[in-house]
Structure 1
Amino acid sequence: MVFNGIKMLVVFALTCMCFIVPVHQSLLPNATILDLSYKNMDFAMNLYRKIANYHDKNIFFSPLSVSTSFAALLMASDGITHQEILKVCNLEQFEMVDQPQLIPRLFQDLQENISRNGSLQLEQSMALFIRQRFEVEKTFQDNLKNFFQADINVLNFGNTKDSIKTINDYVRQKTADKVPEMISTLNAMTKLLLINTIFFQGVWQIPFNPNFTENAPFHIDNYNIVQVPMMFVEDKFYTMEDEPLGARVLKLPYKEGVSMLILLPNKKTDYTTIDNEITAQRFLSWIRNLEPMKLEVNMPKFKMERAYSLHNILPEMGMSSLFTDFANLTRLSKAQALRVSEVLHKAVIEVDEVGTTAAAATATGIIPYALPRRFTINRPFFFFIYHEETNALLFMGRVINPTKN
């Protein structure tokens, strides 16, 4: 199946066998979804840095998918487990004793704000798969339905083959066949499985002309060069330069209020030195300081599929009890010895020239006599896909080698 424009999706799974609880101070009594997006963004940058510590390869994931899943788990947890989730996910300031539903309500409001424009192709879903005869607290089930519109399904996890098929079929359907297999094995003792999916299909507002796409060098580093299909477009775009960081920024808008922000380190800047400098505050400063300019943009086509076992990463960030026998998930179930055994995150992205043939003919605003500047993405770069009205970071990634899927 061929997809035009850009398609991104993420699947996030929690295989649950244990959980925890909290009580916190209120620091943002009048919190908004913009506050939530800001905190989610910093969580995203922290998670990115942990993933980047493991390798120097391509990276792609959905901060919104991960954050949403743990917002759901917050309603199940108590004690130190709850506190750890709050801290790692950067949600501590939203925890209020007199407003216990503030966090899930903010996530609900954010989701509704993003999706209220019916033409935006962004779909997020959540499902809870429950083992037969396993008692889940009604309050948790009701909240999962009310705030996250979750599908709740009962499975015979003892029949692992049928359970795996059911779960994979759900994910396949929710991601338009882009993730045909989320799990290949399943522990027969599994009690619960929480799945969150997010799928985005974007059409460039200013499409690349496929007739101008041609192979060109991409410099992985000083010693390695690969040939990639390089797309080309000339038009007015918003851009800025972060001189202290040693990088340039380019905004590539999609239709319906979503944009991709490209962060391109300068030729003499090692991309690894930028990792620790990317923060929510810096990201918002890029957006504020963008200025229109006529540009020739050269950007590689690329596809990427990435899978992460976050249960190996999150303990290093401070979320440890959730995966041990000390987990406190008493608001999910009164059953003993529950803990989270796995946190699986799978993400897929495909970037190409156009959304539709008609869109390819809509390029306007070219100034015929002005000599354009160039923005050539021919070395490792970062990208961020965000919802403009809320600043919600939907996806982020790093491309070291666009030829590696």
Structure 2
Amino acid sequence: MSPIAKFVFCLTLLAAWRLSSTLFAEAPPAPGVDSASRNASCLALAREAGIRSEGGTGRNFVISPLSIHAALAKVAAGARGDTLSELLRFLGSASLNELHRAAATKLVGRLNGIGQTSFTSGVWVDRMLALKPEFMAIVASRYNATAESVDFVSGAEQARQRVNAFVADATNKQILEVLPPGSVGPGTAVVLANALYFKGAWTQPFDVSTAPFHIPGGTTVRVPSMTTSEPQHIAVYPGFRALKLPYKNDVQQQAEFYMLILLPDSETEIADLYDKAVSMREFIKTHTPTENVPVRQFMVPKFKFTSEFEVSSDMRKLGITRAFEGGDFSGMMTGGEGLSINGVYHKATIEVDEVGTVAAAATAVLWFGSAAPGAPQDLVDFVADRPFLFAVVEEGTDAVLFLGHVANPLTH
């Protein structure tokens, strides 16, 4: 295939995973990787995009670090040489074999058996081309993918619409378009699309009342908010306080999801919390409250919004360059040497109300050619009346499904 051929790789998913096949167990290790850094790069990418989005504008923001991680794990499965080594360093793994054994892989394998989630995937390949059997074996065995031959040369727009329809159906219409107009053309070779959907109900529904919320710039708005007088999982740390909101989990399922809300004090900025989440090992795990404490005042605003952006510049800033400048993707198909990624698009949506959370995310990769908590008082306040950080996490694997911040709950 010509180096100027265009390859579109689209993934739509909520949780991140790593490949677990040993087909490429002999791939050379990536130097300078330590196991504690796993997932850190994708959190760093989330930080870059989040701070850029916030930028004093008061915009809400949501990203799925693990959706991006999953996209790059599949990219790594088809990469070779220096391109592979660079991707492995970013993903925090010394080798593909280590990447394949990640705990998140097992979580993804269980997603269709969990009440809150669903997972599906598909592969659309140009009728004149074929993926390598080894690569297709990974996609089929680890992602339950079905393959379909399409005509990108004369029917690129129809193929784009088919992929988007597949994604929309798999996410219950939460993500209607992952491939933007013009992203698929006559040079497109393959589209891989994975879709993952999350819908979780709180263990205890909340009451709703209207409360003030202080948005950036000094304006105060009144917003529908969740309230309760029941004890909650709250911990107080220097500069912020944390709230854990568990979702209902089926007795037989092997995953436990929760939302973590980090509310900065007056002297702490949202950017400071992003920095902590990236720079401190296991920050989210070690700052998730474990003690159920009685509350005095409790308020968390309802919110619903969607974020979409292009993150290739952030990825370059964090060290991925070869994949954008003539990479080696010969593990994916014959003639894959010299292909370059020319765009990484991400879209995520989330809705939080008194009943629970609905969320989904999409990532599209386009190829061309710890501190200890302070002791809480007998009665603890948690009044989220100002911008805050949030994350949706799976407790067993510490996988961060979503990360973002709310600046104005009224802005969709």
Q: Is residue 2:109 matched to residue 1:112?
A: yes
Distance 1:148 1:190, change over 3 A: same
Q: Give the C-alpha shift of residue 273 in structure 1.
A: 2.7
Matches of 2:92 and 2:228, distance apart in 1: 39
CA distance in structure 2 between the partners assigned to 1:149 and 1:75 by the alignment: 16
**Post-superposition offset of 1:317:** 1.2
Q: Given residue 300 of structure 1, which amino acid in structure 2 is its aligned partner?
A: P
Residue 234 (structure 2) pairs with residue 234 (structure 1): no
The equivalent residue for 2:167 is: 171
Partner of 1:161: 157
TM-score normalised according to structure 2 size: 0.79
Aligned equivalents of 2:285, 2:32: Cα separation in 1: 22
Alpha-carbon distance in structure 2 between the residues aligned to 1:351 and 1:331: 41
* Kept in 1: contact 2:61–2:404 (CA 8 A): yes
Of 176, 185, 204 in structure 2, the residue corresponding to residue 187 of structure 1 is 185
Alignment of 1:110-259 (within 5 A): 110-112=107-109, 115=111, 118-158=113-153, 159-183=155-179, 184-185=181-182, 186-209=184-207, 212-214=208-210, 216-221=211-216, 223-243=218-238, 246-256=239-249, 257-259=256-258
Unmatched runs of 5 consecutive residues or more in structure 2: 1-11, 17-25, 250-255, 358-376
SS class of match (2:185): coil
Q: Which residue identity does 1:252 align to in structure 2?
A: L
Distance 1:60 1:277 in 2: 17
Q: Is the 8 A contact 1:104 1:147 kept in 2?
A: no
- Closer, same or farther: CA 237–290 of 1 in aligned 2, 3 Å: same
| Pairwise CA distance, 1:171 | 0.5
User: In 2 relative to 1, CA 74–9 (structure 1 residues): closer, same or farther, beyond 3 Å?
Assistant: closer
Determine if contact 2:14/2:66 at 8 Å carries over to the other structure.
no
Q: d(CA) in 1 for partners of 2:389 and 2:301?
A: 13
Note the C-alpha offset of 1:109: 1.9
Tell me which residue corresponds to 1:276: 275
Report what 1:87 is aligned to: 89
Give distance in 1, aligned partners of 2:390 and 2:199.
16
- Counterpart for residue 44 of structure 1: 42
Residues 53 and 61 of structure 2 are in contact (CA less than 8 Å); yes or no, is this contact kept in structure 1? Answer: no
The residue aligned with 1:5 is none
Deviates more, 1:309-318 or 1:164-173: 309-318
- Cα gap change, 1:309 to 1:196, in 2 (>3 Å): farther
C-alpha displacement of 1:130: 1.3
CA distance in 2, matches of 1:271, 1:195: 33
One-letter amino acid of the counterpart of residue 68, structure 2? V
Residues of 2 paired with 1:390 and 1:294: CA distance? 28
Q: Is the 8 A contact 1:11 1:346 kept in 2?
A: no
Q: Is the 8 A contact 2:303 2:351 kept in 1?
A: yes
Could you tell me how far 1:160 is from its partner in structure 2? Answer: 1.9
Matched, 1:342 2:343: yes
**Amino acid in the other structure paired with 2:67:** S
Question: Does 2:286 align with 1:291?
Answer: no
Aligned to 1:74: 76
**Displacement of 1:286:** 1.1
**For 2:378 and 2:40, how far apart are their aligned partners in 1?**
38
Residues matched between the structures, number: 355
Q: 1:282 to 1:293 in 2, by over 3 A?
A: same
Mark the CA change 1:355 to 1:219 in structure 2 (over 3 Å): closer, same or farther: closer
Deviations 1:229-276 (A, max 9, x none): 122122111111111xx0000101111121001100012322223321
- 1 CA distance for matches of 2:27 and 2:341? 18
User: What is the one-letter code of the residue matched to 1:225?
Assistant: T
Pairwise CA distance, 1:314: 1.1
Q: Deviation at 1:81?
A: 0.9
> Per the alignment, in what secondary structure is the counterpart of residue 313 of structure 1?
helix
The TM-score normalised by the length of structure 1 is: 0.80
Pair 1:23 & 2:28 matched: yes
Q: Which amino acid aligns with 1:374?
A: D
Secondary structure in structure 2 of the residue aligned to 1:342: strand
Using the alignment, how far apart are the partners of 2:15 and 2:116 within structure 1? 16
Shift of 1:26: 8.9
Q: Aligned pair in 2 of structure 1 residues 140, 162: CA closer, same or farther (>3 Å)?
A: same
The structural deviation recorded for 1:148 is 2.4
What letter matches 1:103 in structure 2?
L
One-letter amino acid of the counterpart of residue 322, structure 1: A
Q: Does structure 1 conserve the Cα–Cα contact (< 8 Å) formed by 2:15 and 2:108?
A: no
Q: Kindly provide the amino acid, as one letter, of the partner of residue 213 in structure 1.
A: S
The one-letter code matched in structure 2 to 1:153 is E
Q: Which amino acid aligns with 1:149?
A: N
- CA gap 1:63/1:52 in 2 versus in 1, 3 angstroms: closer
SS in structure 2 of the partner of residue 264 of structure 1 = strand
Give the drift of 1:196.
2.8
Take 2:15 and 2:307, find their aligned partners in 1: how far apart are those partners?
10
Report the AA paired with residue 86 of structure 1: L
Residue identity over aligned pairs, in percent, reads 25
Partner residue, 2:60: 58
CA 1:123/1:196 → structure 2, altered by over 3 Å: closer, same or farther?
same
| Residue from 376, 396, 402 that aligns with 2:403 | 396
1:375 and 1:77 map into 2 onto residues whose CA distance is: 47
Higher relative CO (Cα under 8 Å, sequence separation at least 6) belongs to: 1
Q: Is the 8 A contact 1:81 1:322 kept in 2?
A: yes
How far, CA to CA, are the matches of 1:290 and 1:355 in structure 2?
20
Aligned 8 A contact 1:11 1:196 in 2 = no
- Whether the 8 Å contact between 1:40 and 1:64 is mirrored in structure 2 is no
